[in-house]
Structure 1
């Protein structure tokens, strides 16, 4: 599957036609980057960390969280971490970190921009401490959770702008995304 990569500003406006991020282990110039890719999140390089949003109860019963649950398991380990809204639970599997941004108390609630920001701050601390410089994620908080991407992108910039963490946001092509979301809503 081919992927299209482009960089957008915090409001989602196109900045340049493409961007090539440094590979793991390459030096970066101490500034964060936000890149966009149309494609499957789970096709990202194996050395990149992954991130997505969940609730404190770790239910992960809808949306892309179902795929994370199937692919990485570890629900008991996540629950044992006793993280609350505004924090970030972490699994390490096959040499990569998987970040679970806790943005709400229960699965049927909606997150706030503040709880998302707090969980991103917690993830940033983990990244800095553990040398994580590349994270791939979906448009966090914007699918079933209904946050607006333009605001989420501004929060990502605010949190990561003084780091060397590069974030790649994956989006499925619209038709595929609609089909996948409908399939998970039926479960």
Structure 2
């Protein structure tokens, strides 16, 4: 599914009305609709459990799983880059708007085997360029262990702050600490 690139992207109402096939949803990249395949049950469970951990550990935040995020907006009604990360973390604006248009405190992507390296790198770059403070990547290994990598934005670059897999705890220190045992996300 695609539409011609437009100088001002696509309207928010067009994006919200765009449909795809079963187990797919629509994002916007370079002013065009792109179809994103949904992950399977383990993928969604990990995303929902990470959302719950952000809500528990960062109680002043609001977390949506998934979240609609306009990374590059034109005015109030057009977007040229709009993504649906697995988890989007910020304040009340995540709850009070259909599409978040600010800079999130954290963004989570749970990668699945259908994600290409090119797609992953594009999203890493877009989230970095949009100023997300934290980017948490998750994926399941071929032995069904959960692997987590916590990146922070430092001088315009992603810097790996913590990583953990399986039963080893992910521990992030600092003003907004975060800890989780990766495999506990698949209880």
> Structure 2 length normalisation: TM-score?
0.34
Larger Rg: 2
Greater RCO (Cα-Cα under 8 Å, separation 6 or more): 1
> Structure 1 length normalisation: TM-score?
0.34
Q: Point out the structure with the larger helix share.
A: 1
Q: Point out the structure with the larger strand share.
A: 2
